[in-house]
């Protein structure tokens, strides 16, 4: 009987030891897992051992609830408004155009010689051919129709001592004036001559005014005229409906 009692006490101690180990293991599991909790309970049961008491370990696990944080849903299309850049009108560069300057005497026809006459608006041309040298002048190259006469002058020299015999002033409009010096004897003609008609124009435009002259030599000083030579000189003249003086310049204000 004494041995049996000792055996029963030894079994109870062993059971108690096993229960303690189970409790320690449960505590270790509880501390290592944040999602499970271990509970140890001891309950009485009908005697199955020598002492009539049984120790049982019950382990229960409870799940810690998971907190779900909602994530906002982004729209599939983003409406991004980009500011429009300011539009600057292109800069317009203004080119300064200098005022048109009309040259003095712009309405005058060209002169192959030198300017002469009133205010320099006439033209003088000198031409040589053979033994003859002649200077022809139109006193004005701009004339007003039916008002201003054409003033023509001629000067002639003959290197061989010849004399001016005939002169024909052609006005360029179908009219002319002829001077005949052949009636004079040797040495009786003049070297200078002008158009005494003072012709005015009834048409407008540019006319070619010319002079045709002839010189001759006198045989033996008193004999007949021999060795005739002819020379022609032309000067253009503009005839306008109206002319005016603008800043000292004679202009054809109405062509």
Lowest mean pLDDT among 93-102, 121-130, 139-148: 93-102
- Range from 59-68, 113-122, 147-156, 180-189 that averages highest in pLDDT: 147-156
Supply the pLDDT for residue 14: 46
Q: Give the model's confidence band at 43: pLDDT under 50 very low, under 70 low, under 90 confident, else very high.
A: very low
For residue 140, the SS3 value is coil
**Domain architecture of the chain: domains with CATH:** 1-63 (no CATH), 114-254 (2.60.40.10)
Categorize the per-residue pLDDT at 46 as very low, low, confident or very high, splitting at 50, 70 and 90. very low
- Residue 6's H or E segment, with its range, is helix 2-32
pLDDT of 23 above 50: no
pLDDT, tens digit, 9 for 90 and up, residues 195-246: 988 999 999 999 999 999 999 888 765 667 788 999 999 999 999 999 998 8
> How far is the C-alpha of 146 from the C-alpha of 222, rounded, in Å?
46
Return the closest-CA partner of residue 34 out of 59, 66, 70: 66
Q: What is the mean pLDDT of the chain?
A: 75
Q: Which residue has the tokens 């320690």?
A: 24
pLDDT band at 9 (very low <50, low <70, confident <90, very high): low
- pTM, 2 dp: 0.59
Q: In sequence order, what DSSP letters do the residues of 130-142 get, joined into one string?
A: TTEEEEEEES-SE
> What's the full length of the chain, in residues?
255
Q: Which helix (H) or strand (E) holds 95?
A: none
The confidence band for 44, taking pLDDT boundaries of 50, 70 and 90, is very low
| Residue in this structure with the two tokens 């000083």, named with its chain if needed | 221
* pLDDT value of position 199: 95
At residue 40, the pLDDT reads 41
**Residue 225 neighbours by CB under 8 Å, 6+ apart:** 163, 165, 182, 186, 216, 217, 218, 219
What's the pLDDT band for 137 if we cut at 50, 70, 90? very high
Higher-confidence position of 192 and 42 = 192
């Amino acid at each position: 009987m004494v041995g049996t009692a000792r055996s029963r006490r030894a079994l109870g101690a062993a059971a108690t030891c096993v229960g303690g180990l189970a409790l320690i293991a449960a505590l270790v599991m509880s501390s290592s897992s944040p999602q499970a909790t271990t509970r140890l309970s001891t309950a009485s049961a009908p005697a199955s051992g020598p002492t009539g008491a049984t120790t049982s370990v019950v382990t229960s696990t409870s799940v810690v609830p998971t907190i779900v944080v909602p994530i906002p849903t982004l729209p599939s299309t983003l409406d991004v408004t980009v500011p429009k850049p300011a539009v600057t009108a292109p800069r317009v560069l203004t080119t300064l155009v200098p005022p048109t300057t009309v040259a003095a005497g712009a309405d005058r026809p060209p002169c192959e010689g030198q300017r002469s006459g009133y205010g320099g608006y006439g033209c003088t041309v000198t031409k040589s051919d053979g033994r003859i040298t002649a200077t022809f002048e139109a006193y004005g190259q701009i004339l007003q129709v039916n008002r201003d006469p054409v003033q023509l002058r001629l000067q002639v020299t003959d290197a061989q001592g010849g004399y001016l015999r005939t002169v024909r002033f052609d006005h360029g409009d179908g009219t002319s004036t002829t001077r005949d010096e052949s009636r004079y004897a040797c040495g009786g003609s003049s070297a200078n001559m002008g158009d005494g008609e003072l012709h005015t124009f009834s048409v407008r435009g540019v006319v070619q005014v010319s002079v045709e002259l002839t010189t001759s030599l006198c045989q033996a000083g008193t004999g007949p005229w021999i060795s005739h030579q002819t020379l022609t000189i032309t000067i253009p003249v503009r005839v306008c409906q109206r002319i005016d003086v603008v800043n000292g310049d004679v202009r054809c204000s109405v062509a």
